Amino acid sequence: MAGLSNRDRKKILQSLKSGVVPRRGIHHIQVGRSREIKALMSDMDDVSHGSTAFRIVIGDYGSGKSFFLLLTKETALQQGLCVASADLSPERRLYSSTGQARALYSELARELSTKTKPDGDGLKNIIEKYLQKTDQASISKLENQLSQYSLGFYFIKVLQIYRAGIEEDDTNKCFSALKWLRGEYTTKTEANKDLGVKVIISDNNYYDALKALSTLVVNAGYKGLMICIDEMVNLLRISQTNTRKNNYEQLLKILNDLLQGTASNISFLLSGTPDFLTDDRKGLYAYEALRSRLQENEFAEQGFFDSRHPVIRLKPLSNEEIYNLIRRVGEIYDQGDVSCKGDNEAIKLFLGHCNSKLGSEIFTSPRTVIRSYLNLRDILNENPDADINNLIESTPIEADIDPELGIESIPETDSDLIEFKL
């Protein structure tokens, strides 16, 4: 497979066998999803021309949501955008009063990627690229653009401190400025001591900080900023009703802001499971304002695709797409020093076995199928005399099930009594 180094090949196979999405080179195994990718490329074009975009990717557990987000990230970087990525977790949320929202911003800032820094840690390069070409006119332009945000004045001040650190060869000053821009200060006292700045990026203003960051990105010569947030289902798992509602209100604020055009050159791409969207008790549909904006096109339920709707559902892969996916994985495997090369007949035998074990689940569980195929190839490579038919028949295949579903949930009405003991 052209353009794939041995190092990248090994990383791709290691990631896939572990059931996680490789961070680089995923275009080598991409199949299907052409309509979805085309829709998001249209969003990238809009963002490049100063507009905004908002999408939620919905798919079952193991259906390829994370893969799709990383594929979109690779495409966006090639289109000249910057991409900031993060996963939601109990420690990172859209709304909080105890630091989880600031932690989300910090993770996004740390994982900020550019074409030349595709694995994150690109903020430093973006700042220095801007400062290298800056003059008084460009500073005045940025000041004017940032003045609409609550943190605009402080963004400019910290950037000037960073430039002073470069001119004075003061690495501590540069480090402190970068720490502030990444949202890593937890107290105003510490920031004031290091920088003379009495305001920090916090739970209350992190969204303004993201918009200010997108403005900086554009002034540095990039086309815009894409925010990718995976594992949105973690909001569904919040047991406290008010906390969950506050997170949904923050999501509504972001959605309204993007749709009303008060921001520019920024897009949000989120992903979650079907329950995260449609659960009437805990999902987005439980919040009427979000339901009205995200309610899916009734005509799309007939198998049609609405490229402009904010919700993109990942449909199961077809027979041909599953076959091509495994064939591509096999081609990557065969590029290495292997004693037993794969062939199309072996793939057909393997997929026939998977289909008999999983039934229709085979089309919604590509992660399981890939992982089992790589396990099979490793055994054949180490034991070239092994009978492939016997190995395939004895290969255990189970549906890809969200491990969280195995945990008995606590009724919402009793969530406040979780720690109660007699």
CA atoms within 13 A on the CB side of 182: 21
- Mark whether 51 and 95 lie in a shared domain: yes
DSSP sequence for 49-98: TT-EEEEEEE--TTSSHHHHHHHHHHHHHHTT-EEEEEE-BTTB-SS-SS
Q: Is 267 helix (H, G, I), strand (E, B) or coil?
A: strand
pLDDT at 105: 98
Handedness of CA 115, 121, 122, 125 (dihedral sign): negative
pLDDT at 363: 57
Q: Decide if 416 is inside a domain.
A: no
- Mark whether 304 and 373 lie in a shared domain: no
Closest by CA position to 322, among listed 345, 295, 354, 276: 354
- Mark whether 130 and 224 lie in a shared domain: yes
Q: Give the count of domains, the chain.
A: 2
CB 250 within 8 Å of CB 91: no
pLDDT at 248: 97
E strands present in 290-355: 311-313
- Mark whether 265 and 322 lie in a shared domain: no
Residue-wise pLDDT for 200-249, tens only, equals 999 999 999 999 999 999 999 999 999 999 999 999 999 999 999 999 99
- Mark whether 234 and 363 lie in a shared domain: no
Task: Look up the CATH number of the domain holding residue 131.
Answer: 3.40.50
Segments in the chain below pLDDT 50: 405-422
Q: Decide if 367 is inside a domain.
A: yes
Question: pTM of this prediction?
Answer: 0.85
pLDDT at 412: 45
pLDDT at 26: 78
Domain range for 352 is: 7-32+317-396
Q: Decide if 297 is inside a domain.
A: yes
- Mark whether 106 and 18 lie in a shared domain: no
Q: Decide if 41 is inside a domain.
A: yes
Q: Decide if 388 is inside a domain.
A: yes
Q: Decide if 224 is inside a domain.
A: yes
